[in-house]
Structure 1
Amino acid sequence: MNALDIRGLRLRLPGTARPVLDGVDLTVGRGETVALVGESGSGKTLTSRTALGLLPPGAAAEGEVLVDGEDVLTMDAARLRALRTGTAAMIFQDPRAAINPLRRIGDFLTESVTLTGTMGRADARHRAAELLDAVGLGPELLRRHPGQLSGGMLQRVMIAAALMGDPILLLADEPTTALDVTSQAEVIALLGRLRERFGTGLLFVTHDLGLAAAISDRVYVMYAGRIAETGPARALFDHPRHPYTAALLASTPRLDTPPGRLAAIDGQPPDLRQELTGCAFAARCRYATDVCREQVPEAHGEQSAACHHPLDRSRTDA
């Protein structure tokens, strides 16, 4: 059984003419790292938050979001609380915004499991000290306040907090955005080690293709609330089949990039206030034809691209 199975997920919000998530299919196996990449506003964070039942006000969801085989969309409030303190956990972008600056680190780490009765206070304290050690910090931090820690240290505390309930699924929503390059590398390496040690399935949400390539086993590329392409990380980055994936890779800075301006994707993502027919990327794609503007493409196979004219190895420029 997978840690996460999302099947045919559609999510509508008030005031939109089309779903913000439109038929999303995604899986994360136990002990597997899956990256979800795409531009800002593509639906990455919304997709990950559905795994915890954290839907926006007024949202209407269809499909299935199975965490450890249970559908989150049908859970009552009590079951959702149990899910969020045990089965699944999230690491948010900004650790300083997620931790109460007036409380000690030890209180922050132990609060969820002690309030729910999952652990006694002494056991929770011991568990917190163990996890701080696992993320490379000392137990003396239990008595410190967030303002006494650096951004990188706070993100490690956030990771320890997410592991307090022994989750089978860890959701990392751009967890390195607020960190410097050195701290980013340390956190990425740490997540990889913890995944191997605890066997946790990891969904890593990012707009950084370099990070996705460094950490993931498989990758999903999202555009306008749909999965544009998915496949094994190496195959997808070496030979992208969807023009959007190729365009993202072409716009990524590299050491061997020729001098001059970076490649850019012309146009804008589709407006949520307007109906969408055919391929969501058609208006920005150089290969688009009439069928692209009229019919929604389907994806098939291990490395699949939802495209009527998928790229081959001899034509990967977008």
Structure 2
Amino acid sequence: MNTLDIQQLRLRLPGTARPVLDGVDLTVAAEETVALVGESGSGKTLTSRSVLRLLPKGATAQGSVLVEGEDVLAMTPARLRRLRTHTAAMIFQDPRAAINPLRRIGDFLTESLRLDGGTDAADADRRAGSMLEAVGLTGGVLRQYPDRLSGGMLQRVMIAAALMGDPALILADEPTTALDVTTQAEVVALLGDLQRRFGTGLLFVTHDLGLAAAISDRVYVMYAGQIAETGPADTLFNRPRHPYTAALLASTPRLDAPRSDLGPDAPRGSGSGGRFAARLAAIEGQPPSLREALAGCPFAPRCRYATAVCTEELPEQLPVAGDPVHRVACHHSDQVAGGEPR
């Protein structure tokens, strides 16, 4: 049984012409790291928040979101509260927005256990101290206020808070975005170590494809509320079969990218001989608006492979030949071999 199993999830918001999430299927197994990637506004955060039923006001959801075999969308308030305390936990993008600045770190970490009624204050404090040590902080942090800690330390506190209830699933919503690159690497390494120690499944939401490739076992690529492509990380990044995945990869900076000579008028500081890294590829156009109903493939207006069938028929997500785990929703996936054509 998967730790997380989302099946045909559709989420609608008031005033929109189409679902914000439209038929999302996604799974996370125990001890597995799954990355969910895509442009801003593609539905990544809403997908992760739906696992805890943290939905926007007025939202209506269809389908099923199974955590440890139980449907979150059908849970009673009491069962949902226990899910959020013990079964699944989220690490939010901005720890300073998630932690009350007027309360000590110890109060923040132990609140859920104390309110749950099953843990006394002393045991909750001991658990909090143990979790802080697990993330590389000392027990003295319990007495500190958030403004006394750096961004990296606060993100470690958020990870400790997620582990307080011994969850089977951790949802990480771009937890490294606001951190410098050194702290990012430390947080990512810490998450991997803790995942192995505690045996949790991890859904890692990110727009950083390089990071997703480095840490994940499998990847889901999301566009306009739909899963465009999914597969093992090494397969998907080395041999993408959806034009959107290939375009995202082509727009990612690389140290080994070819260089181009921009001539004698190139600005100073451009390196030896006025040579620059070649200009990054860009995905033309804009993602579709929620005020517009979609017909056919949502990526068709931005896709150089698009034909009439793409604008008329929504592609079914099908296995790539020879690899049943690698699936893609594209009418012309056989034309995409390793990247966007130059």
Counterparts of 1:263 and 1:295, CA distance in 2? 28
Letter in 2 for 1:240: P
- Compute the displacement of 1:315 (Å): 5.5
**Match of 1:84?**
84
Counterparts of 2:116 and 2:205, CA distance in 1? 28
**Match of 1:270?**
288
Check the 8 A contact 2:243/2:336 in 1, yes or no: no
Query: Could you list the per-position Cα deviations for residues 21-76 of structure 1 after superposition, in whole angstroms to 9, with x for gaps in the alignment?
Result: 00000000011000000000000000000000111111111000001111011112
Counterparts of 2:327 and 2:26, CA distance in 1? 12
**Match of 1:102?**
102
Confirm whether residue 66 of structure 1 aligns to residue 63 of structure 2: no
**Match of 1:297?**
315
Aligned residue for 1:205, secondary structure, equals strand
* Aligned-CA RMSD value: 1.1
- Compute the displacement of 1:299 (Å): 1.5
- Compute the displacement of 1:118 (Å): 2.9
- Compute the displacement of 1:313 (Å): 7.1
Letter in 2 for 1:300: L
Counterparts of 2:315 and 2:335, CA distance in 1? 17
Counterparts of 2:214 and 2:106, CA distance in 1? 32
Counterparts of 1:33 and 1:312, CA distance in 2? 29
Aligned residue for 1:17, secondary structure, equals coil
Check the 8 A contact 2:241/2:338 in 1, yes or no: no
Check the 8 A contact 1:243/1:311 in 2, yes or no: no
**Match of 2:339?**
316
- Aligned partner (choices 259, 267, 283) of residue 301 of structure 2: 283
- Map 1:210-289 to 2 at 5 A: 210-258=210-258, 259-289=277-307
Counterparts of 1:313 and 1:22, CA distance in 2? 24
Aligned residue for 2:140, secondary structure, equals helix
Check the 8 A contact 1:11/1:19 in 2, yes or no: yes
Distance 1:131 1:315, change over 3 A: closer
- Compute the displacement of 1:260 (Å): 3.0
- Compute the displacement of 1:316 (Å): 2.4
TM-score normalised per structure 1: 0.98
Aligned residue for 2:318, secondary structure, equals coil
Counterparts of 1:169 and 1:291, CA distance in 2? 40
**Match of 2:204?**
204
**Match of 1:307?**
330
- Compute the displacement of 1:165 (Å): 0.4
Letter in 2 for 1:317: E
- Compute the displacement of 1:100 (Å): 1.0
**Match of 2:271?**
none
Check the 8 A contact 1:240/1:311 in 2, yes or no: no
Question: Where does the alignment leave 5 or more consecutive residues of structure 2 unmatched?
Answer: 259-276, 320-324
TM-score normalised per structure 2: 0.91
Letter in 2 for 1:261: R
Counterparts of 2:118 and 2:202, CA distance in 1? 23
Counterparts of 2:238 and 2:23, CA distance in 1? 26
Aligned residue for 2:117, secondary structure, equals coil
- Compute the displacement of 1:256 (Å): 1.1
Distance 1:214 1:270, change over 3 A: same
Counterparts of 2:337 and 2:7, CA distance in 1? 33
Counterparts of 1:313 and 1:103, CA distance in 2? 53
Letter in 2 for 1:262: L
Query: Could you list the per-position Cα deviations for residues 190-245 of structure 1 after superposition, in whole angstroms to 9, with x for gaps in the alignment?
Result: 00001100010100000010111111100000000000000000110011010000
Letter in 1 for 2:145: H
Length, aligned pairs only: 318
Larger Rg: 2
**Match of 1:127?**
127
Letter in 2 for 1:291: V
